[in-house]
Amino acid sequence: MPTFELGPNQYGKAETRLVRVERGADGDRLTDLNVSVALRGDLAASHLTGDNAAVLPTDTQKNTVYAFAREFGVASIEAFAARLAEHFVASQPSIHEARVAIQQYPWQSVDGRHSFRREGGEVRTATVHHGPHGTQVASGIGGLVLLKTTDSEFHGYLKDRYTTLPETRDRILATSVDATWRCVEGFTDPRPAREALVEAFADTYSYALQQTLFAMGSRVLERCPDVVEVKLSLPNRHHFLVDLAPFGLDNPNEVYYAADRPYGLIEGVVRRDGAAVPEEVAWTF
């Protein structure tokens, strides 16, 4: 008769939406977060026999997020995530590791007091993993949409009987950047890393989105000495020239069709030579 064993497992409360308003005489400060918690530890009994004695309910995890926001505030998403992760491990003997991932949605004041507007689609991110080997922090951004109208080519690639894509010496290059970076220790100001990503995208003459990815990651490492590695996910937001010949018109790289899917997805990690990667960094939801 076959036997089975339980492999790696985790559980938690995903996507707790939290909006915190800090009231002030000179105007309010708005913080808009999406918080996800995942826990690991001595939890096999809940899977194998339904014994929940070691399980901290996910509803309790949600309540902790709200209570900590009130009691301690949100100075930064990295610090808030670290406080939560350390709490879950320290307060529950059955929990050995905690991972807290936070997305922050930007709002801009429109009157300097009580009115705000939501800024674009870009979000700040932070993921904190706390366990036996200490605390690991990965900061980042998601949904940073960039586009250049020229200075991009794509040619010299493999071709077979199914290839129909024409080579190009001038194309639109567009992407929506998801980037995370890991520091030697502690947190880092995200602004220099974001600026480095944008600048490298803009001033790199691109022969492939892969080349642009490496240039962007390298620029972050150059500008931010405390960062040891950068992980980038770059979907290629394809823009195809529209054939206007049936209408008796030319198209000198002016009219494009923006395709949302399918799309090329270019991903990679750029790290300093010899940078050690802690095993827990690979732990994902």
Question: Which of 3, 13, 64, 150 is an active site residue?
Answer: 13
Q: Report how far residue 95's alpha carbon sits from residue 39's, in angstroms, rounded to the nearest whole number.
A: 7
118, 106 Cβ separation under 8 angstroms: yes
Residue 238 annotated as catalytic: yes
Tell me which H or E stretch contains 72: helix 58-72
CA dihedral 234, 123, 127, 64 (to 10 degrees): -150
Residue 159 annotated as catalytic: no
Question: Which of 31, 49, 58, 212 is an active site residue?
Answer: 58
From residue 54, alpha-carbon distances to 68, 93, 117, 128 in Å are 22, 8, 43, 22
Q: What is the DSSP string of 79-104?
A: HHHHHHHHHHHHH-TTEEEEEEEEEE
Q: Report how far residue 123's alpha carbon sits from residue 227's, in angstroms, rounded to the nearest whole number.
A: 20
Question: Which of 130, 148, 231, 238 is an active site residue?
Answer: 238
Helices (H) and strands (E) in the chain — how many of each? 5, 12
Which contacts of 206-209 are long-range, i.e. CB under 8 A and separated by 24 or more positions? Answer: 206/148, 206/151, 206/152, 206/153, 206/173, 207/152, 207/153, 207/154, 207/155, 208/154, 209/173, 209/175, 209/234, 209/236, 209/264, 209/266
Residue 13 annotated as catalytic: yes
83, 11 Cβ separation under 8 angstroms: no
- The structure tokens listed for 173 are 């290059």
Could you list the active site residues? 13, 58, 238
